[in-house]
Amino acid sequence: MLRVILLSVSVFLFFCYSGNAQQQKNSVLTKSVDKFFCYASADEELDKLAKVLNVKFNFNRERLSRFELTNDFHADNLEFILKAICRATNSRYFIAEDNTIYIIGRRETYTPEVTLALQKAENREQIRAVFELPQKLNVTVAGKITDVNNGEPMANVTVSVLGKSGGTTSNVDGYFTLFNVPSDTAILEFSSVGYTVSKYFLSPQKALDSVNIQMLSSKNALNEVVVYGKKAQSFKLNQKVSMIKMTPALISTLPSIGEKDIFRSFQLMPGVSAANENTSGLYVRGGTPDQSLVLFDGFTVYNVEHLFGFFSAFNSNAIRDVSLYKGGFESKYGGRLSSVVDINGKEGNKKEFNGGADFSLMSVNLFGEGPIAKNVTGIINYRKSFRTSLYNKIFDKYSGESGTETNNNAGPFGNSNQKTRSFFYDLNAKFTWKPTTKDVFSWSIYNGKDNLDNSIIPEIPEFLRGSGGNFGINIADITKWGNTGSSLKWSRRWNKKIFSNTLISYSNYFSNRDRSANITTTDDQGKETTIRRGTLEDNNLKDYSVKTDVEIKLNKHNTIETGYHITHNDIKYSYAQNDTSKLVDRATKGNTYTAYLQDKISFLKDRIQLIPGIRATYFDQTQKMYYEPRLNATFDITDNIKLKGSAGKYYQFAKRVIREDILQGSRDFWVLADNYKLPVSSSVQYVAGISWENKTFLIDVEAYQKKLTGLSEYSLRFQISPGQSSFSENFFQGTGYARGIDILVQKKFGKYNGWMAYTLGEAVNNFEVYGKNDFYAANDVRHEFKTVHMYKLNRFDFSATFILATGRPYTAPSGAYTVTLLNGTEQNYFTVSDKNSYRLPSYHRLDLGVTYNYGEAGSRNGTIGLSLFNVYNRQNIWFKNFEISNNNIITTDVNYLGFTPNLTFTYRFK
């Protein structure tokens, strides 16, 4: 009996002890971390984890150092983290008596210490199987992807099952739905440009329809002393046909002159011409900037330039991401012939307040962001230029004016003060309200303006001032342009399969030019008289739009996208040479009503993806329907090799027309097609390409061809035809085509990364007014080679860019002559070669940059940057000036900027 009692007591004590030990071990495993990012080798991460959780690990350091981890953990316990690490490193773990956690390889030869600990472990079941058994097969996973630092939703993130081809991308609000995931224990991989690749381990214990993924910006990672961001790309090219996605974060390391500029960065890509220092507009595959649709948070931006085009109108600090479609864009985009730039603004940090400032030698750029109220975030960015020697250098070069303050002899009026006042500013603000987990409302505002005042105010000599009357002469030379835009967007995720976006927007572009003299006289009786003479130009465009886009994921292989766009355009343009006669006075209003439907179909195990689509627009100015059939296709021949192609038709209803102005520089203005003098422009495009991509390198080749009809130009130079009443009808029609091949070789990751891009292109126009023959378009560039190299060394980022391009075509005088006009003045005229039959010399330029990253991510940090533009001071020719002297034609080269250094400084609170 005693024995029975003793045995019972022993068993009881044993179980008590075992239970206690088990409890202790379980308590170790239940320790959890709020945030834990694994972006280094497994051994390093285990060291960090040991410190954070105050636990002890034992592992084979040599073996585990070979595994790179890319996992994010949020409020996960140690058990979950260990399972993930073991899965990633093909290991198992067990907890020894002293609570040391041993991590052992599945086929590893154990050390005596490990063997002993293993033997002492209570039983083999203590070695937990890390490969959980799935409970569900063929599941659908849905969720949302945000930036871990500020909670910004992330669009266009590639979501896939690890080790499998195919997948999906997150939509504009960060939502994704992935069908046909093999099991509820699969590993998902998330990758996005500018972010470290993230893995997520599904588990039967976790919900599959509300997966929240938080990705780590590689910029933050790069700021760390330890290089974590080994898997961050500076841009992503190979996601869709002819599409490049970029985030401003990584562009900050590229050399810049004055401003970090997303458009300038796109110019380093194949197919986007870079040999234009004086325009940040995009010349994409032989197209002109007005043929690119630029959307900022859904509203159309009609002018993208600051300071005569040297900078784009977009503040990089306000931009979350940008996608450039070089051609073959889908049916949901329309209204332009060549390309699409879709910019998403930041929503603002939803976790905490953050602010910062950027300073360069010509501007200051401030921003503040943070949560405003419950579920409401906001961000405000403001940038303004100031006059420095760098600003003046660029200003003087491109405004055609010299000096900022000059004294002119103004004849009888004595000296005059010509004080040039010039500045630009832009303001971005965005407020986002998320009342439910399914709804997002956002209000985005943009306002930017350039102002150039080169007016002359003569100083009236004392002797001319006296009793009685007075007079004043104000010779105005004022150029202003800018944009104001706003959009109000409602995004709703109705369920896992249906997502919609509804947007109302307003956009206004204005451009005024006033080069005139206002002569105001006041006589003895106090009577004031004003006379105005000169050139007055006014272009004002208003765009009111409403649109809805709906995405319906029918199943893994089929996603339907449909929607409507309604746009009302109100465009005015007037051009007068004095206040009594207007050469051009147009005011056009028009509506476009558009509906589209496209179907994203994939088959052959997702290796083939087809997106047939149709876009139909009714344009009330012409009272016609315009149909735009489009097809995009990709075929993954292997995991590394992809074939791609697209074909489609594109129409443009609002277009920019260049008005040649010889004396005061050409100007452009927007007009609405009328199908009379200004036809609706159209293009037919074909793209075919192939790419090879592995984890480190990408080689991409795309060939394109587009045929353009209904192009327009305006000129006063041609005699108006008999019966034509005025110059306002001096619009000329033409056609054109562009074709070429873009090649990109990119090293995507690593301390050293970069790319080489080459484009072989041709852009040809035909305007009957210039003759029957085709001629090369002014933006035709035959060869363009660009190479970008970036190297990270501790806290320093070094970068170098080199551009080599064929010179642009130009028209040279074949001769000249003089005619004595009615008032006796002798006027020189040039006779010309065939249009654009000459070429400027090749354009080439080397820029270097170095950026020092100070501080730590999450606390005060920033950068100090030095850029050297045009390092070897190449005298690239902008254009040639011709004059007649002693019966001979004298040619003078006007060059682009020479060597120009720039310093930048950025500061972030967090």
Partner 1 sequence: MATIKNVFFNVCMLAFLISCTKEDQKNNEAKAVVEAFLQPGIAAQIKVTKQIINGVENNGSRTIDALNVIVTYNNTTYVFKQNSFGVYENTGMPVVAGATYSLQFVYNNETITASTTVPQKPVNFTCSPGSITIPSFSGGPGGGIPSFPEPLKAKWNNTNADYHYIAIKSVDPAASEISTNGRGPAFANTPDQGNSKEINFGEFKYYGRNALILYRVLPELAALYNSTSSNSQNLAAVPTNIVNGLGIFTSVNIADTVFIDVKE
By CB under 8 A, the residues from 352 to 381 that bind partner 1 are: none
Q: Which is nearer to partner 1, 504 or 517 (CB)?
A: 517
H helix or E strand, kind and range, residue 118: helix 112-120
Number of Cβ within a 10 Å radius of residue 393: 17
Q: Which of 131, 353, 829, 854 binds partner 1 (CB under 8 A)?
A: 829
H helix or E strand, kind and range, residue 88: helix 78-89
Identify the three-state secondary structure at position 601: strand
Q: Which of 716, 745, 756, 848 binds partner 1 (CB under 8 A)?
A: 716
Q: Which is nearer to partner 1, 537 or 549 (CB)?
A: 537
How far apart are CB 510 and partner 1 at their closest, in Å? Answer: 24
Q: Which of 663, 772, 773, 859 binds partner 1 (CB under 8 A)?
A: 663
Give the CA-trace dihedral at 162, 168, 172, 176, to 10 degrees. Answer: -70
Segment 189-248, which members bind partner 1 (CB under 8 A)?
none
DSSP assignment of 236-299, as one string?
E-SSSTTEEEE-HHHHTTS--SSS--HHHHHTTSTTB----TT--S--BTT--GGGEEEEETTE
Q: Which of 109, 389, 623, 725 binds partner 1 (CB under 8 A)?
A: 725
How far apart are CB 532 and partner 1 at their closest, in Å? Answer: 9
Q: Residue 219 in contact with residue 193, Cβ under 8 Å? A: no
Q: Which of 770, 785, 843, 896 binds partner 1 (CB under 8 A)?
A: 770
Q: Which of 142, 172, 452, 475 binds partner 1 (CB under 8 A)?
A: 475
Q: Which is nearer to partner 1, 246 or 456 (CB)?
A: 456
Name the packing angle between helices 42-53 and 78-89 (round to 10°).
170
Name the packing angle between helices 2-29 and 78-89 (round to 10°).
70
Q: Which of 135, 226, 883, 895 binds partner 1 (CB under 8 A)?
A: 883
Segment 113-142, which members bind partner 1 (CB under 8 A)?
none
Q: Which is nearer to partner 1, 424 or 767 (CB)?
A: 767
The Cβ-side half-sphere exposure at 878, using a 13 Å CA radius, reads: 13
Segment 539-598, which members bind partner 1 (CB under 8 A)?
577-578, 580-581, 583
Q: Which of 471, 506, 564, 692 binds partner 1 (CB under 8 A)?
A: 471
Q: Which is nearer to partner 1, 175 or 308 (CB)?
A: 308
Nearest to 222 by CA among 252, 188, 187: 252
* Residues 492-531, mask of contacts with partner 1 (x by CB under 8 A): ------------------------xx-x-x-xx----x-x
Q: Which is nearer to partner 1, 24 or 408 (CB)?
A: 408
Q: Which is nearer to partner 1, 225 or 822 (CB)?
A: 822
Q: Which is nearer to partner 1, 577 or 735 (CB)?
A: 577
Q: Residue 836 in contact with residue 854, Cβ under 8 Å? A: no
Q: Which of 880, 898, 907, 909 binds partner 1 (CB under 8 A)?
A: 880
How far apart are CB 895 and partner 1 at their closest, in Å? Answer: 13
Nearest to 762 by CA among 286, 410, 84, 265: 286
Cα dihedral 618, 619, 622, 626 sign:
negative
Segment 408-467, which members bind partner 1 (CB under 8 A)?
409-413, 461-467
Give buried/exposed letters for 744-763 (b at 16+ CB in 10 A, else e).
Answer: bbbebbbeebbbbbbbbbeb
Nearest to 455 by CA among 418, 510, 416: 418
Segment 641-660, which members bind partner 1 (CB under 8 A)?
660
Cα 77 to chain centroid distance, Å, stands at 39
Q: Which of 67, 564, 686, 810 binds partner 1 (CB under 8 A)?
A: 810
Residue 832 interacts with partner 1 (CB under 8 A)? yes
Q: Which is nearer to partner 1, 1 or 821 (CB)?
A: 821
Q: Residue 425 in contact with residue 382, Cβ under 8 Å? A: yes
Q: Residue 674 in contact with residue 657, Cβ under 8 Å? A: no
How far apart are CB 220 and partner 1 at their closest, in Å? Answer: 45
Q: Which is nearer to partner 1, 210 or 529 (CB)?
A: 529
Q: Which of 506, 635, 791, 830 binds partner 1 (CB under 8 A)?
A: 830
Q: Which of 169, 239, 451, 470 binds partner 1 (CB under 8 A)?
A: 470
How far apart are CB 460 and partner 1 at their closest, in Å? Answer: 9
Q: Which is nearer to partner 1, 54 or 823 (CB)?
A: 823
Nearest to 396 by CA among 896, 840, 909: 896
Residue 820 interacts with partner 1 (CB under 8 A)? yes
Residue 720 interacts with partner 1 (CB under 8 A)? yes
Nearest to 230 by CA among 190, 183, 199, 197: 197
Residue 822 interacts with partner 1 (CB under 8 A)? yes
Phi, psi (deg, nearest 5) at residue 886: 50, 50
How far apart are CB 526 and partner 1 at their closest, in Å? Answer: 12
Give buried/exposed letters for 153-182 (b at 16+ CB in 10 A, else e).
Answer: bbbbbbbbbeeeebbbbbbbbbbbbbbbbe
Q: Which is nearer to partner 1, 465 or 589 (CB)?
A: 465
Q: Which of 54, 119, 205, 881 binds partner 1 (CB under 8 A)?
A: 881
Q: Which is nearer to partner 1, 403 or 461 (CB)?
A: 461
How far apart are CB 613 and partner 1 at their closest, in Å? Answer: 39
Q: Which is nearer to partner 1, 20 or 529 (CB)?
A: 529
Q: Which is nearer to partner 1, 380 or 884 (CB)?
A: 884
Q: Residue 116 in contact with residue 97, Cβ under 8 Å? A: no
How far apart are CB 452 and partner 1 at their closest, in Å? Answer: 19
Looking at residue 606, the DSSP 8-state letter turns out to be T
Name every residue whose Cβ is closer than 8 Å to that of residue 425 and which is 6 or more positions away in sequence: 382, 383, 384, 385, 448, 449
Q: Which of 433, 882, 907, 909 binds partner 1 (CB under 8 A)?
A: 882
How far apart are CB 575 and partner 1 at their closest, in Å? Answer: 12
Q: Which is nearer to partner 1, 229 or 458 (CB)?
A: 458
Q: Which is nearer to partner 1, 453 or 661 (CB)?
A: 661
In the chain, the largest separation of any two C-alpha atoms, in whole Å, equals: 140
Residue 816 interacts with partner 1 (CB under 8 A)? yes
Residue 773 interacts with partner 1 (CB under 8 A)? no
- Residues touching partner 1, count (CB under 8 A): 82
Residue 478 interacts with partner 1 (CB under 8 A)? no
Cα distances from 173 to residues 154, 157, 334, 451, in angstroms, run 7, 11, 21, 36
Query: d(Cα 694, Cα 125) in Å, to the nearest integer?
Result: 40
Query: d(Cα 295, Cα 44) in Å, to the nearest integer?
Result: 44
How far apart are CB 284 and partner 1 at their closest, in Å? Answer: 21
Residue span binding partner 1 (CB under 8 A) among the ranges 95-103, 174-182, 285-293, 718-726:
718-726
Q: Which of 134, 534, 855, 898 binds partner 1 (CB under 8 A)?
A: 534
Token pair 């198992």 is at which residue?
A: 92
Query: d(Cα 680, Cα 620) in Å, to the nearest integer?
Result: 12
Indicate the burial class of 870 (C-beta count within 10 angstroms; 0-12, 13-18, 19 or more).
buried
H helix or E strand, kind and range, residue 908: strand 900-908
Q: What is the CA radius of gyration of the chain?
A: 32
How far apart are CB 323 and partner 1 at their closest, in Å? Answer: 32
Q: Which is nearer to partner 1, 578 or 787 (CB)?
A: 578
The Cβ-side half-sphere exposure at 710, using a 13 Å CA radius, reads: 22
